[in-house]
Amino acid sequence: MTRSSPLGALAAAALLLSAGARPAQAQHLPDMVTQDVLRVCSDPGNMPFSERKGDGFENKIAQIVADELKVKLRYYWLTQGPGFVRNTLGTGLCDLIIGTSGGEIVQPTNPYYRSAYVLVSRQGEMPDIKSLDDPRLKDRQIGIIAGTPPTNRLSELKLVGERIHAYAPYAFGSERKHQTVAAGVIADLAEKKIDVAILWGPAAGWLAKQSGVPMDVVPLLSEPTRPPLTFRVSMGVRQNENDWKRTLNTVLRKRKADIEKVLRDYEVPLLAEEENKPLGAAEP
Average pLDDT of the residues in 255-275: 96
- Identify the weakest region by mean pLDDT among 77-86, 230-239, 264-273: 77-86
Residue 87 has pLDDT above 70, yes or no: yes
- pLDDT tens digit sequence for 211-235: 999 999 999 999 998 999 999 999 9
Rounded distance, CA 131 to CA 127, Å?
Answer: 12
Residue 172 has pLDDT above 90, yes or no: no
CB 271 within 8 A of CB 279: yes
Q: Which of 1-5, 31-35, 104-108, 195-199 has the highest mean pLDDT?
A: 195-199
Of residues 199 and 172, more confidently modeled: 199
**How much is the pLDDT for 171?**
67
AA identity, residue 259: I
pLDDT band at residue 18, thresholds of 50, 70 and 90?
very low
Mean pLDDT of the chain: 87
Strand partners, 121: 196, 216
**How much is the pLDDT for 28?**
36
pLDDT band at residue 101, thresholds of 50, 70 and 90?
confident
Residue 173 has pLDDT above 70, yes or no: no
Max Cα–Cα distance, the chain, nearest Å: 58
**How much is the pLDDT for 279?**
86
Q: What's the per-residue H, E or C state across the chain?
A: CECCCCCCCCECHHHHHHCCCCCHHHHHCCCCCCCCEEEEEECCEECCCEECCCCCHHHHHHHHHHHHHCCEEEEEECCCCCCCCCCCHHHCCCCEEEEECCCCCEEECCCCEEEEEEEEEECCCCCCCCCCCCHHHHHCCEEEECCCCHHHHHHHCCCCCCCEEEECCCCCCCCCCCCCHHHHHHHHHHCCCCCEEEEEHHHHHHHHHHCCCCEEEEECCCCCCCCCCEEEEEEEEECCCHHHHHHHHHHHHHCHHHHHHHHHHCCCCCECCCCCCECCCCCC
pLDDT band at residue 284, thresholds of 50, 70 and 90?
very low
Residue 280 has pLDDT above 80, yes or no: no
**How much is the pLDDT for 149?**
94
**How much is the pLDDT for 23?**
37
- pLDDT tens digit sequence for 54-72: 999 999 999 999 999 999 9
Of residues 156 and 177, more confidently modeled: 156
Residue 7 has pLDDT above 50, yes or no: no
